[in-house]
Structure 1
Amino acid sequence: MTAIIDVQQVFEGDEIILSAIPSPSELELWANAVLKYEGLSDQEVTIRFTDEAESQSLNHEYRGKDKPTNVLSFPFEAPPGVDISLLGDLVICAPVISREADEQKKKVSDHYAHMTVHGLLHLMGYDHIDETDAEEMEGKEIDILATLGIDDPYQ
């Protein structure tokens, strides 16, 4: 299982929030855990760390929600006949992740891991629109995070 992570770090601001953004090696560790769990290998993903303004703009444009959010997933759909191992893009809002971790009394790194796993599962086609799909996706998240030594994020 080899995840290829292209990191775009465009967040500029609070030094505490900036210092909590995961390293490429952490992102690879988390992504590889997802790939292993799903039986995949050699997948590429771009992960962009951004501010609330960009997150809100993208969330409004693509989801119709006029507020910043923790993670947005943009799956890549290759044209017919093109075989490429590109899952897509994740846009992670650093200030939202830090704020949520604080509110939920979680380690920021654990919340980043959860949102990375969550976003990657979205790129693979999982969703949580209805209760059955949500239970399946959350179960996968819990199992994958457990392999990383991270407690159930839904407790």
Structure 2
Amino acid sequence: MNATVDIVIEDDRWLAFGLERCALRAAQAVLGHLGLDPALFQAVVMGCDDARITGLNADFRDKPRPTNVLSWPSEERGSEYAGEAPALPAPGTQDDPATLGDIAIAWETCAQEAADQGKSVDDHVTHLLIHGILHLLGYDHIDDDDAALMEETERRILETLGIADPY
């Protein structure tokens, strides 16, 4: 089943890139990997530019500089124990999928990072969207044990998509 991903395009380069296709692919891969029915969950992905994400990063993280991806979970889902996977969210229905939260992704930063790392923009953006969706599901990387769990989860999901280990 398809995940529900609502796309907001604030920079037309994302439209030309195919952000919706990429976001759906990432959402289905993450939710499927975790044993969740993608049709029962919903997220919003906004494709923006560096100027917009700089403002968001300043407002929400007090870091007035561009970043590649930001996420806002609809609720706190993290585990209380470092290195432990978060509890899986309760599903919604096909008519009313459970809301996971919102993601913003910035074109210039993503394209530059992909070029600097010798990756395709598609593979890099897919990885960043997987990363963002995992944040919506309660994964984090502040603590070393949590970071190890999140990175390993990303690696496994990316492998199912034929994308090389980004770490």
Q: Where on the TM-score scale, by shorter chain, does this alignment land: which range?
A: 0.7 to 0.9
Percent identical among aligned pairs is 42
Q: 1:95 to 1:18 in 2, by over 3 A?
A: farther
Partner in structure 1 of residue 21 of structure 2: 25
Per-residue deviation, 1:30: 1.6
Runs of 4+ in 1 over 6 A off after TM superposition: none
> Any stretches of 5+ residues in structure 2 without a counterpart?
77-91
Partner in structure 2 of residue 40 of structure 1: 36
Per-residue deviation, 1:5: 0.7
* TM-score normalized with structure 2 length: 0.82
CA distance in 2, matches of 1:18, 1:69: 20
Partner in structure 2 of residue 102 of structure 1: 115
Partner in structure 1 of residue 106 of structure 2: 93
Are 1:130 and 2:143 matched, yes or no? yes
* TM-score normalized with structure 1 length: 0.88
Q: Which amino acid aligns with 1:43?
A: F
Confirm or deny: 8 A CA contact 2:19 2:47 kept in the other structure: no
Q: 1:52 aligns with which of 45, 50, 54?
A: 50
> Any stretches of 5+ residues in structure 1 without a counterpart?
none
Partner in structure 2 of residue 142 of structure 1: 155
| Residues 62-98 of structure 1: per-residue CA shift (max 9 Å, x gap) | 11111010000011139xxxx6600000000011100
User: Over the residues paired in the alignment, what is the CA RMSD in angstroms?
Assistant: 1.8
CA distance in 1, matches of 2:164, 2:30: 16
What is the SS of the residue equivalent to 1:91?
strand
